[in-house]
A = this chain, B = another copy of it.
Protein backbone atom coordinates (compact mmCIF):
# COMPACT_ATOMS: atom_id res chain seq x y z
CA UNK A 1 0.00 0.00 0.00
CA UNK A 2 3.00 2.30 -0.35
CA UNK A 3 2.05 5.51 -2.12
CA UNK A 4 3.84 6.47 -5.32
CA UNK A 5 6.96 8.38 -4.39
CA UNK A 6 9.22 10.89 -6.05
CA UNK A 7 13.00 10.86 -6.02
CA UNK A 8 14.25 13.97 -4.22
CA UNK A 9 16.08 15.14 -7.33
CA UNK A 10 12.77 15.52 -9.16
CA UNK A 11 11.07 17.55 -6.50
CA UNK A 12 9.94 20.96 -7.62
CA UNK A 13 6.87 22.93 -6.64
CA UNK A 14 5.18 21.67 -9.80
CA UNK A 15 5.57 17.97 -9.09
CA UNK A 16 4.66 17.98 -5.40
CA UNK A 17 1.13 17.14 -4.28
CA UNK A 18 -0.67 19.82 -2.30
CA UNK A 19 -1.16 23.55 -2.51
CA UNK A 20 1.34 26.16 -3.48
CA UNK A 21 1.20 29.86 -3.82
CA UNK A 22 3.56 32.56 -5.06
CA UNK A 23 3.84 35.39 -2.57
CA UNK A 24 5.81 38.59 -2.25
CA UNK A 25 5.69 39.39 -5.95
CA UNK A 26 4.33 42.90 -5.41
CA UNK A 27 5.44 43.56 -1.84
CA UNK A 28 8.49 41.44 -1.09
CA UNK A 29 9.16 39.92 2.29
CA UNK A 30 11.83 41.89 4.11
CA UNK A 31 13.96 39.35 5.92
CA UNK A 32 15.80 39.91 9.18
CA UNK A 33 19.07 39.93 7.24
CA UNK A 34 17.80 42.92 5.26
CA UNK A 35 17.21 41.15 1.94
CA UNK A 36 13.85 41.73 0.23
CA UNK A 37 12.67 38.30 -0.89
CA UNK A 38 10.07 38.02 -3.62
CA UNK A 39 8.50 36.43 -5.38
CA UNK A 40 8.78 33.28 -3.34
CA UNK A 41 6.73 30.10 -3.17
CA UNK A 42 5.03 28.58 -0.16
CA UNK A 43 4.00 24.93 -0.45
CA UNK A 44 1.41 23.77 2.02
CA UNK A 45 -1.13 21.09 2.85
CA UNK A 46 -4.53 21.30 4.49
CA UNK A 47 -7.06 18.94 6.05
CA UNK A 48 -10.67 19.65 6.99
CA UNK A 49 -12.77 22.61 5.93
CA UNK A 50 -12.35 26.30 6.66
CA UNK A 51 -15.63 27.52 8.19
CA UNK A 52 -17.58 30.51 6.92
CA UNK A 53 -16.02 33.07 9.26
CA UNK A 54 -12.60 31.47 8.91
CA UNK A 55 -12.27 31.06 12.65
CA UNK A 56 -11.41 27.35 12.83
CA UNK A 57 -7.91 27.31 11.34
CA UNK A 58 -5.10 25.48 13.14
CA UNK A 59 -1.62 26.13 11.82
CA UNK A 60 0.73 23.24 12.41
CA UNK A 61 4.40 24.26 12.33
CA UNK A 62 6.98 21.62 11.48
CA UNK A 63 10.36 20.88 12.98
CA UNK A 64 13.86 21.07 11.42
CA UNK A 65 13.56 17.98 9.27
CA UNK A 66 9.77 17.94 8.95
CA UNK A 67 7.68 19.32 6.16
CA UNK A 68 4.08 20.11 5.23
CA UNK A 69 3.12 16.42 4.95
CA UNK A 70 2.05 16.22 8.58
CA UNK A 71 -0.74 13.81 7.62
CA UNK A 72 -1.24 11.59 4.62
CA UNK A 73 1.45 9.85 2.58
CA UNK A 74 4.78 11.55 2.11
CA UNK A 75 5.52 12.04 -1.59
CA UNK A 76 9.17 10.99 -1.27
CA UNK A 77 9.11 8.26 1.34
CA UNK A 78 5.55 6.97 0.89
CA UNK A 79 5.31 6.82 4.68
CA UNK A 80 2.51 8.34 6.71
CA UNK A 81 2.65 11.94 7.91
CA UNK A 82 4.88 12.88 10.81
CA UNK A 83 1.83 13.90 12.89
CA UNK A 84 -0.63 11.36 11.53
CA UNK A 85 -1.35 10.47 15.14
CA UNK A 86 -2.60 14.01 15.83
CA UNK A 87 -4.39 15.07 12.65
CA UNK A 88 -7.63 13.49 11.34
CA UNK A 89 -11.31 12.94 12.04
CA UNK A 90 -11.85 12.61 15.79
CA UNK A 91 -8.17 13.08 16.54
CA UNK A 92 -6.75 15.84 18.74
CA UNK A 93 -6.55 18.14 15.72
CA UNK A 94 -10.02 17.03 14.61
CA UNK A 95 -10.39 17.60 10.89
CA UNK A 96 -14.20 17.20 11.20
CA UNK A 97 -14.13 20.38 13.20
CA UNK A 98 -10.99 22.31 12.38
CA UNK A 99 -9.24 23.43 9.25
CA UNK A 100 -5.70 22.23 9.77
CA UNK A 101 -2.89 23.54 7.61
CA UNK A 102 0.85 23.10 7.52
CA UNK A 103 3.32 24.95 5.31
CA UNK A 104 6.85 23.96 4.43
CA UNK A 105 9.08 26.56 6.10
CA UNK A 106 11.01 29.18 4.21
CA UNK A 107 14.43 27.68 3.51
CA UNK A 108 12.92 24.19 3.28
CA UNK A 109 13.19 21.73 0.45
CA UNK A 110 9.65 20.51 -0.14
CA UNK A 111 8.31 23.20 -2.39
CA UNK A 112 8.65 26.37 -0.36
CA UNK A 113 11.47 28.61 -1.56
CA UNK A 114 14.83 27.57 -0.18
CA UNK A 115 18.44 27.15 -1.26
CA UNK A 116 17.53 24.34 -3.68
CA UNK A 117 14.93 26.51 -5.46
CA UNK A 118 15.64 28.32 -8.66
CA UNK A 119 16.61 31.94 -8.09
CA UNK A 120 14.10 33.92 -10.20
CA UNK A 121 16.90 36.34 -11.04
CA UNK A 122 19.14 33.71 -12.63
CA UNK A 123 17.01 30.62 -13.18
CA UNK A 124 19.71 28.58 -11.40
CA UNK A 125 19.49 27.05 -7.93
CA UNK A 126 20.12 29.62 -5.22
CA UNK A 127 22.65 27.51 -3.32
CA UNK A 128 24.37 29.78 -0.82
CA UNK A 129 22.94 32.82 -2.60
CA UNK A 130 19.70 32.14 -0.80
CA UNK A 131 19.51 34.68 2.03
CA UNK A 132 20.02 33.37 5.55
CA UNK A 133 16.63 33.24 7.22
CA UNK A 134 15.38 33.28 10.80
CA UNK A 135 12.47 31.77 12.69
CA UNK A 136 10.94 35.25 12.49
CA UNK A 137 11.21 35.15 8.69
CA UNK A 138 9.57 31.72 8.57
CA UNK A 139 6.65 33.08 10.57
CA UNK A 140 6.39 36.24 8.44
CA UNK A 141 6.16 34.04 5.35
CA UNK A 142 3.42 32.00 7.03
CA UNK A 143 1.57 35.20 7.94
CA UNK A 144 1.60 36.19 4.27
CA UNK A 145 0.06 32.81 3.46
CA UNK A 146 -2.60 33.35 6.12
CA UNK A 147 -3.29 36.82 4.63
CA UNK A 148 -3.60 35.22 1.23
CA UNK A 149 -6.18 32.78 2.59
CA UNK A 150 -8.13 35.65 4.15
CA UNK A 151 -7.75 34.23 7.65
CA UNK A 152 -7.71 37.13 10.07
CA UNK A 153 -7.02 35.14 13.19
CA UNK A 154 -5.76 31.61 13.59
CA UNK A 155 -7.60 29.58 16.16
CA UNK A 156 -4.39 27.86 17.13
CA UNK A 157 -0.71 27.66 16.22
CA UNK A 158 0.89 24.43 17.36
CA UNK A 159 4.20 22.66 16.87
CA UNK A 160 7.00 20.72 18.48
CA UNK A 161 10.70 21.59 18.60
CA UNK A 162 11.35 24.23 15.90
CA UNK A 163 7.59 24.12 15.35
CA UNK A 164 7.22 25.25 18.95
CA UNK A 165 9.65 28.12 18.34
CA UNK A 166 7.42 29.23 15.48
CA UNK A 167 4.32 28.99 17.71
CA UNK A 168 6.06 31.24 20.25
CA UNK A 169 7.15 33.67 17.53
CA UNK A 170 3.58 33.81 16.18
CA UNK A 171 2.23 34.57 19.64
CA UNK A 172 4.84 37.23 20.22
CA UNK A 173 4.75 39.03 16.86
CA UNK A 174 1.16 38.42 15.80
CA UNK A 175 -0.61 38.20 19.16
CA UNK A 176 -3.83 39.64 17.72
CA UNK A 177 -3.90 37.03 14.98
CA UNK A 178 -3.57 33.97 17.24
CA UNK A 179 -6.19 32.76 19.69
CA UNK A 180 -4.16 29.93 21.19
CA UNK A 181 -0.54 28.78 20.97
CA UNK A 182 0.95 25.39 21.82
CA UNK A 183 4.75 25.21 21.91
CA UNK A 184 5.81 21.62 22.60
CA UNK A 185 9.36 20.58 23.51
CA UNK A 186 10.52 24.05 22.56
CA UNK A 187 12.92 26.68 23.82
CA UNK A 188 12.91 30.48 23.82
CA UNK A 189 16.55 30.55 22.65
CA UNK A 190 19.17 28.17 21.39
CA UNK A 191 21.73 27.33 24.05
CA UNK A 192 25.48 27.03 23.53
CA UNK A 193 25.10 23.24 23.46
CA UNK A 194 22.26 23.46 20.91
CA UNK A 195 24.42 25.66 18.68
CA UNK A 196 27.38 23.33 19.17
CA UNK A 197 25.51 20.25 17.97
CA UNK A 198 24.17 22.14 14.95
CA UNK A 199 27.60 23.47 14.11
CA UNK A 200 29.01 19.93 14.03
CA UNK A 201 26.26 18.91 11.62
CA UNK A 202 26.98 21.88 9.37
CA UNK A 203 30.70 21.17 9.43
CA UNK A 204 30.00 17.54 8.49
CA UNK A 205 28.05 18.73 5.43
CA UNK A 206 30.57 21.38 4.45
CA UNK A 207 33.43 18.87 4.88
CA UNK A 208 31.92 16.70 2.14
CA UNK A 209 33.69 17.51 -1.16
CA UNK A 210 30.38 16.88 -2.93
CA UNK A 211 28.95 19.90 -1.14
CA UNK A 212 30.94 22.00 -3.63
CA UNK A 213 30.73 25.20 -1.57
CA UNK A 214 26.97 24.84 -1.65
CA UNK A 215 26.78 24.67 -5.44
CA UNK A 216 26.18 20.93 -5.70
CA UNK A 217 22.78 21.28 -7.40
CA UNK A 218 24.31 23.06 -10.35
CA UNK A 219 27.08 20.47 -10.53
CA UNK A 220 24.68 17.52 -10.23
CA UNK A 221 26.27 16.27 -7.04
CA UNK A 222 24.91 15.68 -3.52
CA UNK A 223 26.83 15.77 -0.21
CA UNK A 224 25.16 12.58 0.90
CA UNK A 225 27.85 11.35 3.27
CA UNK A 226 28.14 14.65 5.10
CA UNK A 227 24.39 15.05 5.42
CA UNK A 228 24.07 11.47 6.70
CA UNK A 229 26.66 12.15 9.42
CA UNK A 230 24.84 15.35 10.39
CA UNK A 231 21.59 13.44 10.65
CA UNK A 232 23.11 10.63 12.70
CA UNK A 233 24.58 13.06 15.20
CA UNK A 234 21.37 15.06 15.50
CA UNK A 235 19.29 11.93 15.84
CA UNK A 236 21.11 10.99 19.05
CA UNK A 237 20.01 14.29 20.55
CA UNK A 238 16.38 13.58 19.69
CA UNK A 239 16.33 10.45 21.82
CA UNK A 240 17.29 9.84 25.42
CA UNK A 241 19.97 7.66 26.94
CA UNK A 242 17.19 5.59 28.54
CA UNK A 243 15.32 5.17 25.25
CA UNK A 244 18.50 4.09 23.45
CA UNK A 245 19.22 1.59 26.21
CA UNK A 246 15.64 0.27 26.14
CA UNK A 247 15.47 0.05 22.33
CA UNK A 248 19.00 -1.20 21.63
CA UNK A 249 21.20 -1.55 24.68
CA UNK A 250 24.33 -3.43 23.63
CA UNK A 251 22.41 -5.91 21.48
CA UNK A 252 24.18 -7.07 18.36
CA UNK A 253 22.84 -6.72 14.83
CA UNK A 254 22.21 -10.11 13.26
CA UNK A 255 25.28 -11.76 14.80
CA UNK A 256 26.13 -13.66 17.95
CA UNK A 257 29.48 -12.08 18.68
CA UNK A 258 31.29 -8.91 17.75
CA UNK A 259 33.24 -9.08 14.49
CA UNK A 260 36.33 -7.16 15.63
CA UNK A 261 35.85 -4.74 12.80
CA UNK A 262 34.06 -1.56 11.82
CA UNK A 263 30.81 -3.02 10.55
CA UNK A 264 27.62 -2.18 12.41
CA UNK A 265 28.06 -4.85 15.08
CA UNK A 266 25.59 -3.15 17.39
CA UNK A 267 21.93 -2.57 16.64
CA UNK A 268 22.26 1.06 17.61
CA UNK A 269 24.92 1.52 14.91
CA UNK A 270 22.76 -0.12 12.28
CA UNK A 271 19.80 2.03 13.34
CA UNK A 272 21.80 5.25 13.12
CA UNK A 273 23.23 4.36 9.72
CA UNK A 274 19.71 3.70 8.49
CA UNK A 275 18.58 7.09 9.85
CA UNK A 276 21.41 8.74 7.95
CA UNK A 277 20.94 6.96 4.66
CA UNK A 278 17.16 7.39 4.49
CA UNK A 279 17.33 11.05 5.49
CA UNK A 280 19.51 11.99 2.53
CA UNK A 281 16.83 10.61 0.20
CA UNK A 282 14.34 13.19 1.33
CA UNK A 283 16.25 16.24 2.52
CA UNK A 284 18.44 18.88 0.97
CA UNK A 285 21.82 19.52 2.58
CA UNK A 286 21.73 23.28 2.10
CA UNK A 287 18.25 23.42 3.64
CA UNK A 288 19.78 21.66 6.64
CA UNK A 289 22.40 24.41 6.87
CA UNK A 290 19.85 27.21 6.56
CA UNK A 291 17.27 25.84 8.96
CA UNK A 292 19.80 24.91 11.66
CA UNK A 293 21.18 28.43 11.33
CA UNK A 294 17.72 29.93 11.79
CA UNK A 295 17.32 27.89 14.96
CA UNK A 296 20.73 28.95 16.29
CA UNK A 297 19.81 32.59 15.76
CA UNK A 298 16.56 32.17 17.71
CA UNK A 299 16.63 34.18 20.94
CA UNK A 300 13.28 35.70 21.81
CA UNK A 301 14.53 37.77 24.72
CA UNK A 302 17.38 39.37 22.75
CA UNK A 303 15.21 41.98 21.05
CA UNK A 304 13.59 42.84 24.37
CA UNK A 305 16.68 43.78 26.35
CA UNK A 306 17.14 40.22 27.49
CA UNK A 307 13.75 40.10 29.23
CA UNK A 308 11.75 37.23 27.77
CA UNK A 309 8.50 38.37 29.40
CA UNK A 310 8.57 41.55 27.28
CA UNK A 311 8.13 39.38 24.18
CA UNK A 312 4.63 38.62 25.49
CA UNK A 313 3.64 41.92 27.17
CA UNK A 314 -0.18 42.44 26.99
CA UNK A 315 -0.68 39.16 25.14
CA UNK A 316 -4.23 37.86 24.86
CA UNK A 317 -3.11 34.49 23.54
CA UNK A 318 -3.99 31.35 25.51
CA UNK A 319 -0.90 29.16 25.89
CA UNK A 320 -0.39 25.49 26.52
CA UNK A 321 3.30 24.71 27.08
CA UNK A 322 4.40 21.08 27.04
CA UNK A 323 7.78 19.54 27.85
CA UNK A 324 9.11 16.02 28.36
CA UNK A 325 11.11 14.81 31.34
CA UNK A 326 13.73 13.02 29.22
CA UNK A 327 14.18 15.75 26.60
CA UNK A 328 17.79 16.88 26.98
CA UNK A 329 17.84 18.88 23.74
CA UNK A 330 15.29 21.42 24.97
CA UNK A 331 14.86 20.32 28.56
CA UNK A 332 11.96 21.24 30.79
CA UNK A 333 13.91 24.14 32.26
CA UNK A 334 13.53 25.89 28.88
CA UNK A 335 9.76 25.43 28.84
CA UNK A 336 9.69 26.60 32.42
CA UNK A 337 11.46 29.81 31.37
CA UNK A 338 8.66 30.37 28.83
CA UNK A 339 6.01 29.74 31.48
CA UNK A 340 7.71 32.06 33.96
CA UNK A 341 7.85 34.80 31.33
CA UNK A 342 4.18 34.31 30.49
CA UNK A 343 3.20 34.37 34.14
CA UNK A 344 5.21 37.56 34.61
CA UNK A 345 2.88 39.30 32.16
CA UNK A 346 -0.23 37.59 33.57
CA UNK A 347 -0.79 35.54 30.42
CA UNK A 348 -3.23 32.67 30.28
CA UNK A 349 -0.94 29.65 30.38
CA UNK A 350 -1.19 25.95 31.12
CA UNK A 351 2.00 23.98 31.59
CA UNK A 352 2.46 20.24 31.53
CA UNK A 353 5.69 18.31 31.90
CA UNK A 354 5.07 14.82 30.55
CA UNK A 355 6.84 11.88 32.19
CA UNK A 356 8.43 9.81 29.43
CA UNK A 357 11.77 8.21 28.58
CA UNK A 358 11.37 8.94 24.85
CA UNK A 359 13.37 12.15 24.80
CA UNK A 360 12.82 15.14 22.54
CA UNK A 361 11.07 13.14 19.82
CA UNK A 362 8.27 12.28 22.24
CA UNK A 363 6.22 15.08 20.61
CA UNK A 364 5.97 12.90 17.49
CA UNK A 365 4.97 9.75 19.34
CA UNK A 366 2.01 8.14 21.00
CA UNK A 367 2.21 9.89 24.36
CA UNK A 368 -1.28 9.44 25.82
CA UNK A 369 -0.80 12.11 28.47
CA UNK A 370 0.24 14.67 25.86
CA UNK A 371 -2.75 13.79 23.72
CA UNK A 372 -5.16 14.02 26.68
CA UNK A 373 -3.70 17.37 27.69
CA UNK A 374 -3.91 18.79 24.18
CA UNK A 375 -7.45 17.49 23.66
CA UNK A 376 -8.55 19.22 26.84
CA UNK A 377 -6.75 22.45 26.05
CA UNK A 378 -8.07 22.65 22.49
CA UNK A 379 -11.60 21.79 23.63
CA UNK A 380 -11.50 24.57 26.23
CA UNK A 381 -10.00 27.06 23.79
CA UNK A 382 -12.62 26.18 21.14
CA UNK A 383 -15.39 26.81 23.67
CA UNK A 384 -13.94 30.20 24.52
CA UNK A 385 -13.54 30.99 20.85
CA UNK A 386 -17.22 30.08 20.34
CA UNK A 387 -16.50 27.25 17.92
CA UNK A 388 -19.30 24.66 17.78
CA UNK A 389 -18.49 21.34 19.48
Contact = CB atoms under 8 A, between A and B. Distances in A.
Nearest to A199: B269
Contacts of A233: 200, 233
**Chain A binding site: helix, strand, loop or mixed by DSSP?**
helix
Given A206-B262, A245-B193, A232 B269 contact: no
A66 to B, nearest CB: 22
Of the candidates A225, A245, A264, A299, the one having the most CB atoms from chain B within 10 angstroms of its own CB is: A225
Contact of A203 (B200, B228, B258, B289): B228
Contacts of A236: 193, 196-197, 200
A158 interface: no
A108 B259 CA distance: 20
A195 to B, nearest CB: 5
One complex includes copies of this chain to the number of 2
Contact of A276 (B203, B241, B245): B203
A261 B192 contact: no
Contacts of A244: 191-193, 196
Contact of A261 (B34, B132, B250, B265): B132
Q: How large is the interface on A (under 10, 10 to 19, 20 to 34, 35 or more residues)?
A: 35 or more
B203 A229 contact: yes
Nearest to A197: B236
A247 B192 contact: yes
B241 A226 contact: no
A264 B195 CA distance: 10
B261 A199 contact: no
A284 interface: no
A202 B260 contact: no
25 contacts: A32-B260, A131-B260, A132-B260, A132-B261, A192-B248, A192-B249, A193-B241, A193-B244, A196-B268, A196-B272, A199-B232, A199-B266, A199-B268, A200-B232, A200-B233, A200-B272, A203-B232, A203-B272, A204-B204, A207-B207, A207-B208, A207-B225, A233-B233, A262-B289, A328-B328
